[in-house]
């Protein structure tokens, strides 16, 4: 499984000499139709890889912004099956952009891991990030996913030391997601110096691209992180842009899609400046 949409995308980015801009939005937030419109508009706004959150009632690794986003999606009726339908709709019009589903294990366990892998592959999913499945639990979903042709992207964190890194990286594919802070999503800002050291440390153990996320909110931060990393993930800021665009009843407005894509475009410009700065 070496030639995948994700690997092809990173090869393209390498040729262009720039870091990947990885966007995270929640499936079904604020409602299924608006969510589809947002996701379909993200590549034109500069997204190189799209992460789509699978909403879960108890997101223990997420901060307030993504918690609220997931609850909005669940209230609007989103399910894991609905998330796969959303991917299928996006994939019908976009054959190239890698799509990674990110979430928690219980809805997948309920769906049935093998059935889920097959359904996700059929819908056009390229990779999975499942926060509460460490390498010790690889037999649950990681190995079936790899066998079924999906990348399984692992989180490495500041607490993952050199002794543990090989275990974390062993069955990781597609890319490595470095969590830049010890904390939940969207809270503290990452320290650029520490991130650079961490990316270098991970790269000593793997040839996979290393993308960095958790806490990146602005074009300026993205530009700095993108100098050292192969990609930058932005999630909480984008789902906050969804939230602030809603009306008093929590419904989408005419501004919702545009407010997400304009923020994405401005951060994408920051990511694109990152490697230019290094070259110059």
Partner 1 sequence: MSAQSSAAVSSGAIPNTMRSGPDDRGFFGLYGGRFVAETLMPLILELDKAYTEAKNDPAFQAELAHLGKHYTGRPSPLYFAERLTQHLGGAKIYFKRDELNHTGSHKINNCLGQILLARRMGKKRIIAETGAGQHGVASATVSARFGHPCVVYMGATDVQRQSPNVFRMKLLGAEVRPVTSGLGTLKDAMNEALRDWVSNVEDTYYIIGTAAGPHPYPAMVRDFQSVIGTETREQMLEVEGRLPDAIVACIGGGSNAIGLFHPFLDDKDVQIIGVEAGGHGLDVPNGHAASMAGGRPGVLHGNRTYLLQDDDGQILEGHSISAGLDYPGVGPEHSWLKDSGRVTYVPATDAEALEAFQLLTRLEGIIPALEPAHALAHVMKLAPTMGKDQTIVMNLCGRGDKDIFTVGKILGFEL
Residue 157 near partner 1 by CB under 8 A: yes
CA distance 131 to 118: 20
Binding of residue 22 to partner 1 (CB under 8 A) = no
Question: What's the closest the beta carbon of residue 143 comes to partner 1, in angstroms?
Answer: 7
Q: Give dist(CA 66, CA 64) in Å, integer.
A: 6
128 is an interface residue for partner 1 by CB under 8 A: no
Q: Which two three-digit tokens encode residue 93?
A: 């019009």
Residue 80 in contact with partner 1, rule: CB under 8 A: yes
**216-221 contact pairs (CB < 8 A, 24+):** 216/180, 216/189, 216/190, 217/186, 217/189, 218/267, 218/270, 219/266, 219/267, 219/269, 219/270, 219/271, 220/270, 221/189, 221/190, 221/270
Stretch of 24-32, 91-99, 156-164, 272-280 contacting partner 1, by CB under 8 A: 156-164
Q: Among residues 43 and 186, whose Cβ is nearest to partner 1?
A: 186
- 75 lies in the site for partner 1, by CB under 8 A: no
Write each residue from 34 to 73 as x if it is in contact with partner 1 (CB under 8 A), else as -, in one continuous string: ----------------------xxxxxxxx---x------
160 binds partner 1 (CB under 8 A): yes
48 classed as catalytic: no
Catalytic residue among 51, 228, 230, 240: 51
Tokens of 271: 């990511």
Parallel/antiparallel/unpaired status of strands 154-156 and 151-152: unpaired
Question: Which residues lie near partner 1 (CB under 8 A)?
Answer: 56-63, 67, 74, 79-81, 104-114, 131-134, 136-137, 139-141, 143-144, 154-161, 164, 168, 179, 182-184, 187-188
Q: Which residues are catalytic?
A: 51, 62
């Amino acid at each position: 499984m070496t030639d995948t949409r994700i690997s092809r995308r990173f090869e393209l980015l390498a040729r262009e000499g720039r870091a990947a801009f990885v966007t995270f939005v929640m499936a079904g937030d604020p409602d299924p139709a608006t969510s589809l419109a947002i996701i379909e508009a993200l590549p034109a706004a500069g997204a190189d890889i799209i992460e789509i959150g699978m909403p879960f009632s108890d997101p223990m690794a997420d901060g307030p912004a993504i918690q609220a986003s997931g609850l909005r999606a669940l209230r609007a009726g989103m399910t894991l099956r609905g998330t796969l339908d959303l991917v299928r709709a996006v994939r019908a019009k976009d054959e190239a952009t890698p799509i990674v589903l990110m979430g928690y294990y219980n809805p997948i366990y309920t769906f049935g891991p093998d059935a889920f892998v097959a359904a996700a592959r059929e819908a056009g999913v390229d990779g999975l990030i499942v926060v509460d499945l460490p390498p010790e639990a690889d037999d649950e979903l990681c190995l079936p996913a790899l066998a079924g042709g999906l990348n399984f992207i692992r989180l490495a964190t500041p607490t993952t030391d050199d002794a543990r890194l090989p275990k974390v990286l062993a069955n990781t594919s597609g890319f490595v997601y470095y969590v830049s802070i010890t904390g939940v999503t969207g809270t503290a800002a990452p320290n650029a110096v520490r991130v650079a050291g961490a990316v270098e440390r991970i790269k000593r153990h793997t040839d996979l691209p290393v993308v960095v996320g958790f806490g990146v909110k602005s074009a300026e931060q993205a530009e700095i992180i993108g100098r050292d990393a192969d990609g930058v993930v932005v999630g909480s800021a984008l789902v906050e842009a969804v939230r602030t665009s809603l009306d008093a009843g929590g419904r989408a407005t005419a501004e919702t899609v545009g407010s997400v894509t304009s923020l994405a475009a401005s951060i994408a410009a920051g990511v694109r400046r990152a490697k230019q700065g290094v070259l110059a």
